[in-house]
């Protein structure tokens, strides 16, 4: 009988992104991590958003691709691993297909959860801190039911190409993220400011703040005593977090 006691965290895989040189090898690398690392001793797996570079579920069809990845998630779920997927700004439009088929929980927005003896605040990272007005407008638009209905009425041959083109253009320009030359401190600062402010207004309530989104890694002690961990990405860093009941640490695959 395997000792399943660890909790794993990962974010910003961006499966299917057009700017990744070999998308199939990219997916296989993630699957190797799931099969060789997570499956050994995981009790829980948290996917903190932007797992897919784009995902849209129509009423009766879903996008092609990601077969090995989704199969690996299904194997984990079938083996008893509790999987939670927090939506990011690239995979907002998950509805009931993945939860029903794989057997997992999907959360839109922040999640505060007790794991073992500690309390975690988890969010992809695009919905916290000071956000530019243009980004706030896009977030509201993407979640608007009427806008979603109108977008869903357009044939996938147009919408999927548009979505991947937008993602690639945004990535080249840096998008909401600072560009690769920016120092990590300035990129992570909005997340740190949010966590520090939250901690001040809710003293002693949170032990770990866990974010993704900025494609950087960080592990910092906050003024109030909590820690903030930023998970990095699977485009250049191949990083993830492990919580063993006592501490949350960052690792690389």
Give the pLDDT score at 61.
Answer: 76
List of residues 6+ apart from 132 with CB closer than 8 A = 176
List of residues 6+ apart from 204 with CB closer than 8 A = 224, 225
Does residue 207 contact residue 189 with C-beta atoms inside 8 Å?
A: no
> Rounded CA gap, 105 and 233, in Å?
22
Give the pLDDT score at 178.
Answer: 41
Give the pLDDT score at 128.
Answer: 87
Q: Give the mean pLDDT of 113-127.
A: 95
Q: What is the pLDDT of residues 123-142, one digit of tens each?
A: 999 988 776 666 667 667 66
The CATH number fitting domain 6-252, selected from 3.40.50.2020, 3.90.1170.50, 3.60.21.10, 3.40.50.620: 3.60.21.10
Give the pLDDT score at 181.
Answer: 47
> Rounded CA gap, 210 and 220, in Å?
11
Give the pLDDT score at 191.
Answer: 96
Beta strands at 6-10 and 105-107: parallel, antiparallel or unpaired: unpaired
pLDDT band at 179 (very low <50, low <70, confident <90, very high): very low
Q: Give the mean pLDDT of 134-153.
A: 70
pLDDT above 50 for 177: no
Q: Give the mean pLDDT of 42-71.
A: 90
- CA separation (Å) from 119 to 70, 101, 129, 139, 202? 29, 29, 20, 27, 12
pLDDT band at 170 (very low <50, low <70, confident <90, very high): low
Q: Give the mean pLDDT of 53-69.
A: 84
Task: Say what the alpha-carbon torsion angle 52, 58, 63, 64 is, to the nearest 10 degrees.
Answer: 150
Q: Which of 46-55, 105-114, 127-136, 173-182 has the lowest mean pLDDT?
A: 173-182
pLDDT above 60 for 174: no
The overall average pLDDT reported for the chain is 87
Q: Which helix (H) or strand (E) holds 198?
A: helix 184-201
- When mean pLDDT is compared over 58-67, 158-167, 241-250, the highest value belongs to 241-250
């Amino acid at each position: 009988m395997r000792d399943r006691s660890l909790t794993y965290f990962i974010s910003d895989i961006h499966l299917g992104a057009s700017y990744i040189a070999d998308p199939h090898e990219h997916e296989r690398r993630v699957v190797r991590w799931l099969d060789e690392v997570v499956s050994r001793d995981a009790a829980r797996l948290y996917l903190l958003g932007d797992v897919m570079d784009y995902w849209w579920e129509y009423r009766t069809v879903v996008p092609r691709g990601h077969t090995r990845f989704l199969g690996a998630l299904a194997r984990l779920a079938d083996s008893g691993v509790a999987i939670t997927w927090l939506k990011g700004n690239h995979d907002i439009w998950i509805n009931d297909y993945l939860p029903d088929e794989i057997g997992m929980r999907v959360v839109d927005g922040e999640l505060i959860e007790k794991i073992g003896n500690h309390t975690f605040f988890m969010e992809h990272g695009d919905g916290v801190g000071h956000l530019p007005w243009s980004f706030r407008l896009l977030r509201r638009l993407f979640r608007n039911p009427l806008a979603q209905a109108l977008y869903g009425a357009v044939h996938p041959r147009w919408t999927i190409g548009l979505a991947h083109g937008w993602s690639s253009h945004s990535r080249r320009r840096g998008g909401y993220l600072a560009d690769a030359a920016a120092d990590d401190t300035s990129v992570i600062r909005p997340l740190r400011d949010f966590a520090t402010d939250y901690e001040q207004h809710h003293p002693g309530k949170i032990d770990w703040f866990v974010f993704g989104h900025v494609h950087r890694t960080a592990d910092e002690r906050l003024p109030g005593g909590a820690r903030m961990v930023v998970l990095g990405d699977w485009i250049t860093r191949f990083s993830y977090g492990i919580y063993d009941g006592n501490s949350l640490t960052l690792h690389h695959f």
